[in-house]
């Protein structure tokens, strides 16, 4: 049991040194053991939303998740490039407008 206590303390599952005596700590579910929040599936759902995959490709979440990994990564890269190009284009337009109006800001 001492080895398990040490393992959990060192790996960050549960700090047995600071928490004092908690008799069920070795068998109790600890928040740091929640693998769902750090799962690839949850990460892909977040990436789908953040990258605007539906907006750029018209794929729904199920269609996106059913694609082979190399296609998912390629689509995410294309979405990122598209968003970056749009932001750069918008900034260029703002810069041109500022130059045309004497360099002042819009206030």
Who wins on pLDDT, 2 or 39?
39
pLDDT at 71: 98
The CA distance from 79 to 3, in Å, is 47
Average pLDDT over residues 72-96: 88
* pLDDT-based confidence at residue 11 (cuts at 50, 70, 90): low
Q: How many residues does the chain have?
A: 107
- Round to whole Å and give the CA distance between 73 and 40: 12
Range 24-31 contact pairs with CB under 8 angstroms and sequence separation of 24 or more: 26/1
Give residue 26's pLDDT: 63
Please give the pLDDT value at position 24: 65
Residue 28 reports pLDDT greater than 90: no
Residues with Cβ < 8 Å from 97, sequence gap 6 or more? 106
* Contact by Cβ (8 Å): 35, 16: no
pTM attached to this predicted model: 0.56
Mean model confidence pLDDT for the chain: 82
Residue 46 banded pLDDT, cuts 50, 70, 90? very high
Nearest 5 degrees, angle CA 82-CA 84-CA 89?
95
């Amino acid at each position: 049991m001492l080895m398990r206590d040490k393992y959990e303390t060192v790996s960050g599952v549960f700090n047995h040194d600071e928490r004092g005596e908690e008799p069920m700590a070795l068998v109790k579910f600890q928040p740091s053991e929640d693998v769902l929040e750090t799962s690839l599936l949850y990460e892909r759902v977040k990436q789908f939303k953040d990258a605007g995959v539906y907006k750029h490709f018209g794929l729904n979440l199920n269609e996106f998740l059913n694609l082979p990994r190399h296609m998912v990564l390629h689509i995410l890269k294309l979405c990122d490039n598209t968003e970056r190009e749009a932001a750069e284009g918008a900034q260029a337009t703002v810069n041109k407008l500022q130059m045309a109006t004497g360099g002042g800001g819009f206030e």
